[in-house]
Structure 1
Amino acid sequence: MEFEALKKSGITNLLSAFGRSIWLPQGIFYWTGRAKKEATIDATIGSAQGPENEIIAGAPDKAVTFYIPSVQRHFAGLKSEETVPYAPMLGLPDLRKAWREWILRKVGDLRPRVEPCLTLPAVTPGVTGGIFMAAKMFVDKDEVVVSPDRLWENYSNIVERHIGARIETFPFFDGGRFNLKGMQRKLLDTLAQQPKALLMLNFPNNPVGFNPPQEMVQPIVQALIDVVEQAGKPIVVLCDDAYEGYVYDPAALQRSMFGDLCDAHRRILPIKLDGISKEFLFYGGRLGCLTFGLPSGLDVDRKALQEELDNKLGGIVRSTVSNCTRPVQSAILKALGQLDQVLAERQRTVDVLGRRANLLKAEFAKVSLPQLRPLPFNAGFFCFCDVEGVPANKLAEHLIEKYKIGVVPSEGGKINGIRIAFCSVPEKDIPTLVNGIVSAIKDLAAES
């Protein structure tokens, strides 16, 4: 966007440097807006959707955003004292304790190792807000943040436009496996130029939909240990766990890598960012949590360290959003008290998305088209297809105009491809989706 109206009005001259630099890229929201108006198959939306009777027995066959009934009941039954008063800056104390227990439940047999490291989670305005708070606390202007090259586009808005740092990437895959050597090289190069590095790890990944196999977890952790040992400098690992729990391959890691990173090395500080948007299918609730995994070998009073971290985080919250919404915290606290029921209800959505992912793989397996290369996917809400010989934006435009199929294109550097949100495409439409993509590529290839 050129912001011609702002320039003509003279308001541009009133803007701060930040006000002049910030902008919303023509990305996911642009294509989602187009798809809502023009598409009959919408594979742009990053929320689980489909016929209500897929998740609720006896419900109508109408399209809804999937939800967890017991969470909705708790929200509807709140009393005034659970909704009206301000919430504490870092969240309701009982919710913070309950979320800590939720994390410990998720790490499973790693609990004895993780529990001594785990701080009390701080409530954030969604996982996005948690990413912003962590980046604001740990990244300086002009520093480098390291990430795989398949990343959520909003990272750039947060890290580069808000903070003034820059993201440098390494190729996500090396021969169909997570690129350990590329990650190590990029971190070592970064640490040669600055006193610490911040690494962003998003598993299951958006936009790829990949979670590493269980056998890869320890090599990833060891690779990071080797980096800090060789460089003699620390790294902060931001675990963006927004899609934790949505894994459709029994050989893949079934939980966050955060637990494996806890106490891995005194120079590795993992930070867990998770929340209710996907884990509790409550997108509009805008509630996340930020939790530190403090190494056990730190020679410091742990209670004092928790208080001082809380003070820092509280300063960010107070000066930005003041606090997070109390009604949502109250409802989620009640849901956490009935976790077995909540997870049983959520499993219906996990099962639906797993069937869609497996059907999508099967449909792609039938395709023999050199220009289309689906990347490995086994988790999350998305898959990503590299496209050769046809610009991704042109493909997305042709798909929506001729075939009424909405996808999100990605172009930049060595990446040219489309993100497919199978989370919002019913099973019956998946063969049509794949056939449309194949036909659209063939159309455009014939033109060139």
Structure 2
Amino acid sequence: MHPEADQLNQQFPSVLFHLFSEKGKHLFSPQKGILKQAAEAKNSRLNATIGIALDDNKEPLGLPSLIKWLPDKLSLPYAPGTGVAELRDVWQEKMLEKNPSLQLENISKPVVTSGLSHGVFLAGTLFLNEGEKILLPDKFWGNYKMLLGVNVGAELSTFPTFKGNGLDTEALQNALATQSGKTVLILNFPNNPSGYSPTKEEADEMVEILTAHAETHPTVVVCDDAYWGLVYEDEIERESLFGKLSHAHENLLAVKLDGATKEDFAWGLRVGFITLGNKNMTPEIADAFEKKVAGAIRSQISMACHPSQMAVLRSLKSPTYEVEKKANFDTLETRYQAVRNVLEKNKDRYSKYFAPIPFNAGYFMCIELIPELNAEQIRQNLIRDFDTGVIATDNMLRVAFSCAAASDIPELFENIYAACEAAR
């Protein structure tokens, strides 16, 4: 093991150290490498360290035809490995505002990732060995199979997401009961594909179940908060599970994955964050976590995109940011209500072929087809005969109301009904 990795590992109490994968234990951010040496020489009068080009005035020697499309030419050079410092500070401030249960002393500073997908892969790299099991609800984002199954080599083990009109927390408890030793699970709320987020009661129950499990099992809970904040019913928990889990138990490590992608409507900019929390967090442990994450990022993508980070930072600091975000939220909420209305109005008729699974948040909702229908066939029929696109997964169709005008939603569901009718 590299001495710098060994030095980092000594910062962790035994229970946290043993949560790391073998690769995670070996990760470190080189403190004598190019990035570190360049940072130390940043303000030197003669700086011949980093591999970028400067003009005679020490400004980035960029192409004018490129620079005119960027926030400014100062975003051309490489960003720090952990991300732009001010962006990390601002994101943490907003995280604390949005999640009153969070305690600053129990969390690391957010590290910038190249979107949420990268964050999922980082979490898998840090905490899962090949062949180890990760628990997750059976309604999950399909890319987990590639990120965690194929790339990390983990075994995805699912449990039922729903029971009736709500979450099946008993299924979560039963799945945890099958675990021996270290437990790793990922929870995505609001959920993709279902569009469901837990009620306050369900959220508290999950925290209680996970905390009790951590009494006897070292546990990593990854909170995929890609769609955080996009909830449309009063009884829904507004905070991330990470808020309470981050200081729930010394044996429980909470990992928060979030970003500008969905909640700030910045899909292609690929700016995400990874934050870690534990009841016994110290500045030294937080620093060691950040250095391991930085080492993983350095070895995978070098660092996240600098212009994208600067664009997101400027948006977050804009005096119109909250107003703009509320306007977009209102648009999505109107579309959500349009879906609710059309399903309620046509409930009896639609039940001949499909019914919605629970939904109350996010960008999506799903309908479950009767067993006699094939989701992929219906999807193809919708494109061919009705000029309508949805996503087929298992025996469900996922409808992204986020990208459908409220006025088009009745026609969208009528087309689905007609495609089902034509397939019988």
| TM-score (norm: length of structure 2) | 0.80
CA contact (8 A) 2:107 2:286 kept: no
How far off its partner does 1:79 sit? 2.6
In the alignment, the residues of structure 1 paired with residue 352 and residue 248 of structure 2 have an alpha-carbon distance, to the nearest angstrom, of: 42
The alignment status of 1:106 with 2:98, answered yes or no, reads yes
CA contact (8 A) 2:248 2:278 kept: no
Change in Cα spacing, 1:180 to 1:315, as seen in structure 2 (3 Å) is same
Q: Which residue of 2 aligns with 1:3?
A: none
CA contact (8 A) 2:108 2:289 kept: no
Q: Percent identity, aligned pairs only?
A: 32
Q: Say which is worse superposed, 363-372 or 433-442, in terms of deviation.
A: 363-372
Change in Cα spacing, 1:77 to 1:400, as seen in structure 2 (3 Å) is closer
SS at match of 1:406: coil
Q: Deviations over 1:76-106 (max 9, x none)?
A: 673322x111111110122212211111011
Q: Which residue of 2 aligns with 1:254?
A: 238
In the alignment, the residues of structure 1 paired with residue 316 and residue 250 of structure 2 have an alpha-carbon distance, to the nearest angstrom, of: 32
Matches within 5 A, 1:2-151: 78-81=71-74, 83-108=75-100, 110-111=101-102, 114-151=103-140
Matches within 5 A, 1:405-420: 405-411=388-394, 416-420=395-399
CA contact (8 A) 2:249 2:278 kept: no
1:319 aligned residue (299, 322, 328)? 299
The CA RMSD measured in Å over matched residues stands at 1.5
In the alignment, the residues of structure 1 paired with residue 206 and residue 286 of structure 2 have an alpha-carbon distance, to the nearest angstrom, of: 28
Q: Which residue of 1 aligns with 2:197?
A: 211
In the alignment, the residues of structure 1 paired with residue 360 and residue 69 of structure 2 have an alpha-carbon distance, to the nearest angstrom, of: 35
CA contact (8 A) 2:226 2:263 kept: yes
SS at match of 1:167: strand
Q: Say which is worse superposed, 272-281 or 147-156, in terms of deviation.
A: 272-281
In the alignment, the residues of structure 2 paired with residue 257 and residue 358 of structure 1 have an alpha-carbon distance, to the nearest angstrom, of: 25
In the alignment, the residues of structure 2 paired with residue 370 and residue 238 of structure 1 have an alpha-carbon distance, to the nearest angstrom, of: 38
Q: Deviations over 1:14-35 (max 9, x none)?
A: xxxxxxxxxxxxxxxxxxxxxx
CA contact (8 A) 2:261 2:271 kept: yes
Structure 1's unaligned 5+ residue stretches are 1-74
CA contact (8 A) 2:368 2:397 kept: yes
CA contact (8 A) 2:197 2:231 kept: yes
Q: Which residue of 1 aligns with 2:285?
A: 305
In the alignment, the residues of structure 2 paired with residue 348 and residue 311 of structure 1 have an alpha-carbon distance, to the nearest angstrom, of: 38
In the alignment, the residues of structure 2 paired with residue 330 and residue 142 of structure 1 have an alpha-carbon distance, to the nearest angstrom, of: 39
Q: Which residue of 2 aligns with 1:4?
A: none
How far off its partner does 1:313 sit? 1.1
In the alignment, the residues of structure 2 paired with residue 165 and residue 239 of structure 1 have an alpha-carbon distance, to the nearest angstrom, of: 17
How far off its partner does 1:147 sit? 0.5
In the alignment, the residues of structure 1 paired with residue 146 and residue 79 of structure 2 have an alpha-carbon distance, to the nearest angstrom, of: 28
In the alignment, the residues of structure 2 paired with residue 440 and residue 334 of structure 1 have an alpha-carbon distance, to the nearest angstrom, of: 46
Count of aligned pairs: 353
Structure 2's unaligned 5+ residue stretches are 1-67
Q: Which residue of 2 aligns with 1:367?
A: 347
CA contact (8 A) 2:187 2:223 kept: yes
Q: Which residue of 2 aligns with 1:32?
A: none
SS at match of 2:320: helix
How far off its partner does 1:185 sit? 1.2
1:385 aligned residue (362, 367, 372)? 367
Change in Cα spacing, 1:125 to 1:103, as seen in structure 2 (3 Å) is same
SS at match of 1:123: strand
Q: Which residue of 1 aligns with 2:401?
A: 422
SS at match of 1:363: helix
Q: Which residue of 1 aligns with 2:322?
A: 343
SS at match of 2:347: coil
Q: Deviations over 1:141-188 (max 9, x none)?
A: 001111000000000001110011110101110121111111111122
Taking CA–CA contacts closer than 8 Å with sequence separation of 6 or more, which of the two structures ends up with the larger relative contact order?
1
In the alignment, the residues of structure 1 paired with residue 214 and residue 278 of structure 2 have an alpha-carbon distance, to the nearest angstrom, of: 16
How far off its partner does 1:425 sit? 0.6
SS at match of 2:366: strand
How far off its partner does 1:269 sit? 1.2
Q: Which residue of 2 aligns with 1:436?
A: 415
In the alignment, the residues of structure 1 paired with residue 143 and residue 404 of structure 2 have an alpha-carbon distance, to the nearest angstrom, of: 23
In the alignment, the residues of structure 1 paired with residue 157 and residue 391 of structure 2 have an alpha-carbon distance, to the nearest angstrom, of: 22
Matches within 5 A, 1:237-252: 237-252=221-236
